[in-house]
């Protein structure tokens, strides 16, 4: 009987290779280039299925159900904008499968190749979306071309936040690791007397969103990028998640019933996390108390960012109300 079963299994392997577990054609996915570094030469879906760990019936049987795909959607930024919260909220959706850690493929590990990148991805079933998030992609000059080379159809999500608040939050994170760093005020200016802002400091530079977005628009249409408000992600998480689910083509499953507001932390938490029946809040590294910053410095930063914010509003068609 065992030999008969094995014979039927291997006989089906060839004829059933193009089918998913539901017996219908697999949805189109981003296929890796035939050779890394040669954009435009993409392998067919059949070639990707035949590649190692591509989810053939035999490998799926022995390694667990589902297939590893390159991501169809990526949260590309921004640092300290709320990307971790968004990813954790999205992972509640049964049709979203995401990498927990930040792969940093398109900024730090690109030379490892797409096969290495795909191997980091979770297995998905038909109809599920593969995602990852690495906030530093948004400010990495090479990232847009590299992601476009992987797949021009990749959906991009950017979580943005008041750039002044974001800069202070960025500094607060660094301060928690390096208590002896200079003050925020001293790092903000090249010359405080003249009020010249030091745009080479990453905490300041990241918040010039319009400048970074220009680089992405050379490779992706604006309609392929969703801009999520970090402020509204706190005040109305279900509303922002509704927009994200629509953008990803998902059924609106994540709603108000999934959240409660944690007064101690000052932001919303999940009533039930992915794969758990218990409430879940982001860790102690999120929601740190910001140091008191000289209000004159805060105002100078607001004046500095204002024209860039106005341009960003025009480019995205959204007023984020930061001023």
Q: Which residues are annotated as a binding site for 3'-phosphoadenylyl sulfate?
A: 80-84, 161, 169, 286-290
Q: For residue 308, which of 191, 200, 198, 205 has the smallest C-alpha distance? A: 205
Is residue 80 part of the annotated active site? The answer reads yes
Catalytic site residue from 68, 79, 80, 133: 80
Residue 126 CA to residue 226 CA, distance in Å, equals 24
Q: For residue 33, which of 15, 13, 54, 47 has the smallest C-alpha distance? A: 47
Q: 125, 9 in Cβ contact below 8 A? A: no
Query: To 10 degrees, what angle do helices 237-247 and 83-90 make?
Result: 70
Q: 323, 309 in Cβ contact below 8 A? A: yes
SS3 262: strand
CB atoms under 10 Å from CB of 284, counted, come to: 9
Q: Mark the binding-site residues, compressed into ranges.
A: 80-84, 161, 169, 286-290
Residue 247 CA to residue 86 CA, distance in Å, equals 14
| β-pair partners for 124 | 67
For 51-87, letters b (16+ CB in 10 Å) and e give eeebbbbebbeeeeebbbbbbbbbbbbbbbbbbbbbb
Residue in the block written with tokens 């949805």: 27
Q: For residue 128, which of 197, 243, 27 has the smallest C-alpha distance? A: 27
Angle at 147 between CA 163 and CA 107, to 5 degrees: 60
Q: Is 152 left (phi over 0), alpha (psi -120 to 50) or beta?
A: alpha
Catalytic residues, which ones?
Answer: 80
């Amino acid at each position: 009987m065992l030999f008969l079963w094995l014979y039927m299994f291997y006989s089906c392997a060839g004829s059933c290779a193009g089918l998913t577990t539901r017996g219908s054609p697999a949805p189109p996915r981003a296929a890796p280039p035939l050779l890394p570094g040669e954009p435009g030469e993409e392998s067919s879906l059949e070639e990707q299925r035949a590649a190692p760990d591509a989810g053939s019936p035999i490998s799926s049987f022995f390694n667990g159900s589902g297939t590893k795909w390159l991501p169809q959607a990526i949260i590309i930024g921004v640092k300290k904008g709320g990307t971790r919260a968004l990813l954790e909220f999205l992972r509640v959706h049964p049709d979203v499968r995401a990498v927990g850690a930040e792969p940093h493929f398109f900024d730090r590990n690109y030379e490892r190749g797409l096969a290495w990148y795909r191997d980091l991805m979770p297995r998905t079933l038909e109809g599920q979306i593969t995602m990852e998030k690495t906030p530093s992609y948004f400010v990495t000059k090479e990232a847009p071309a590299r992601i476009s080379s992987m797949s021009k159809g990749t959906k991009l999500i950017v979580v943005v936040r008041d750039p002044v608040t974001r800069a202070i939050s960025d500094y607060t994170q660094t301060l928690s690791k390096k208590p002896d760093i200079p003050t925020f005020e001293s790092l903000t200016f090249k010359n405080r007397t003249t009020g010249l802002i030091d745009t080479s400091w990453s905490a300041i530079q990241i918040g010039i969103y319009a400048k970074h977005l220009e680089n992405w628009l050379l490779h992706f249409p604006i309609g392929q990028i969703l801009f999520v408000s970090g402020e509204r992600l706190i005040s109305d998480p279900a509303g922002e998640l509704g927009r994200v689910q629509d953008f990803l083509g998902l059924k609106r499953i994540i709603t108000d019933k999934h959240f409660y507001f944690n007064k101690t932390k000052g932001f919303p938490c999940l009533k039930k996390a992915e794969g758990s029946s218990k409430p879940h809040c982001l860790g102690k590294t999120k929601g740190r108390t910001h140091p008191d910053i000289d209000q004159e410095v805060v105002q100078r930063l607001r004046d500095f960012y204002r024209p860039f914010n106005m341009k960003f509003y025009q480019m995205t068609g959204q007023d984020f109300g930061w001023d």
